[in-house]
Amino acid sequence: MRRTLPMLLVLALVATGCSGEDDEPDASGTPSSSSSSSEPSPSEPAEPSEPAEPSEPAEPSEPAEPAEDPLPPVTNDLSLPALMREPLTGRGLRVTRTVTEQPGYTQQEITYRSDDLTISGELFRPDGRGPFPAIVLNHGYIDPAYYETGQGLAREQLWLVQAGYVVLHTDYRGHATSDDVSQVDLESRLGYARDAANAVRALRQQPYVDGDRVGMLGRSMGGGVTQNVLVAYPGLVDAAVIYASVSSDFVENVRQFTEPNRPDAAQGYYDRFGTPRSAPEFYAGLSPRTYFDRITEPVLSLHGAVDATCPPRWARDTQRLMTRAGVDATLELYDGEDHTFYSRWEDSIRRSDRFFERHL
């Protein structure tokens, strides 16, 4: 597995990126999908459990980028190229509370360090010594004022730990008991990408994790966070799944979520950085699609064919552009499924499990 590193916070005013998306009830579903790439079919899993010893092996900071992987130029400090240049600092994963112990797994609240911040989250560990493959989960938009630790991907947490993965669900900065940040940073999707990438690094340092088999799954806004991680830190993970993702074009997200829901915030953003028409290079620097040629790992995208929150066109555009950039990308559209992925969720998580089993 190849690894790289980098960073920088960005004022990404995608204020309500796919909100209402994340109080996900338990669901079962029926398989039905249409795909536009490759990979076989079905498999399965289930639920959480107890103590993980606080552990902080000394894994030295890795250099920023290999020589053969030249970085794109930085034209603005608030950009993905700026993020790419910051070395990862994830470390110090510690258990703060055991939530529950169930047959087969343990569920615990944890913290870890991301840059100079303490970030909270939930850890799910299969029974046994391991080392186990691991997956970092990136949740979608939930108002930080109401967000609680581990919220947003409960179905995926239980399914994946019961399938034999260590699962770390990061809360992101400014959420739950993570360190508070400014309102500007709460809007910063690059800061969230930083926390997700540092979660991978902190997780790799644990003795029960197989550091050569680590994946990432992001839903809605978390799908955008995952795309940012993939382009900023190629080789950091071995495979990634994006569920009902926001657009890979930063401007489309601002227009879909910020302008209608927070017009004053959008206008303030345009006043400060210029409009997409007047400052296209700035907005391109915040769009992961600009850097898809940096992605080195396989990507599976799952999207509802009638998703009105994150339109299927976004998923098709992302798939087309990833493929054009040489990414091993697969898109599956689920007929009749909307943003919630309720009716076909079971089929989609089985598809994700098969994908991770193949690539991790």
297-330, pLDDT tens digit by residue? Answer: 999 999 999 999 999 999 999 999 999 999 999 9
d(CA 222, CA 227): 9
CA angle 287, 288, 290 (to 5 degrees): 75
Q: What is the pLDDT averaged over residues 132-156?
A: 95
Q: Tell me what pLDDT residue 188 has.
A: 56
Q: Is 230 or 24 the better-scoring residue by pLDDT? A: 230
Q: Tell me what pLDDT residue 103 has.
A: 96
Tell me the average pLDDT of the chain: 84
Would you say residue 61 has pLDDT above 80?
A: no
Instruction: Look at residues 284, 199, 280, 279 and name the one whose alpha carbon lies nearest to residue 249.
Output: 284
Q: Is 172 or 64 the better-scoring residue by pLDDT? A: 172
Put the strands of the sheet holding 132-138 in their side by side order: 34-35, 329-334, 299-304, 239-243, 209-219, 132-138, 166-170, 117-126, 105-114, 91-102
Range of weakest confidence among 35-44, 148-157, 195-204: 35-44
DSSP string, 33-84: -EESS---------------------PPPPPS--TTSPPPPPS-SSSHHHHH
Integer distance in angstroms from the first to the last C-alpha of the chain? Answer: 10
Q: Is 18 or 135 the better-scoring residue by pLDDT? A: 135
Which whole-number Å values give the CA distances from 355 to 169, 218, 239, 282, 351, in the listed order?
Answer: 19, 14, 8, 35, 6
Taking residue 182's Cβ as centre, other Cβ atoms within 10 Å add up to: 11
Would you say residue 64 has pLDDT above 50?
A: no
Contact between residue 273 and residue 250 where contact means Cβ atoms under 8 Å apart:
no
Helix (H) or strand (E) holding 272: helix 263-273
pLDDT in tens, 80-133: 999 999 999 999 999 999 999 999 999 999 999 999 999 999 999 999 999 999
The pair of three-digit structure tokens given for residue 62, joined into one six-digit string: 């890795």
Q: Tell me what pLDDT residue 21 has.
A: 45
d(CA 350, CA 142): 25
pLDDT in tens, 324-357: 999 999 999 999 999 999 999 999 999 999 999 9
Q: What is the pLDDT averaged over residues 275-303?
A: 96
Range of weakest confidence among 49-63, 136-150, 161-175: 49-63
Q: Tell me what pLDDT residue 185 has.
A: 63
Q: Is 17 or 273 the better-scoring residue by pLDDT? A: 273
Instruction: Look at residues 7, 208, 229 and name the one whose alpha carbon lies nearest to residue 110.
Output: 208
Q: What is the pLDDT averaged over residues 24-45?
A: 37
Going by their DSSP bridges, the two strands 299-304 and 329-334 should be labelled as parallel
- Give the percent of the chain with pLDDT over 90: 71
Q: Tell me what pLDDT residue 62 has.
A: 46
d(CA 142, CA 329): 28
Q: What is the pLDDT averaged over residues 39-51?
A: 36
Would you say residue 51 has pLDDT above 80?
A: no
> Model pTM?
0.82
Q: Is 48 or 249 the better-scoring residue by pLDDT? A: 249
Q: Tell me what pLDDT residue 316 has.
A: 98
Ordered by start, the domain boundaries in the chain are 34-359
Classified by CATH at the fold level, domain 34-359 comes out as Rossmann fold (3.40.50)
Q: Tell me what pLDDT residue 295 has.
A: 98
d(CA 13, CA 265): 7
Q: Tell me what pLDDT residue 78 has.
A: 87
Would you say residue 56 has pLDDT above 70?
A: no
Would you say residue 48 has pLDDT above 70?
A: no
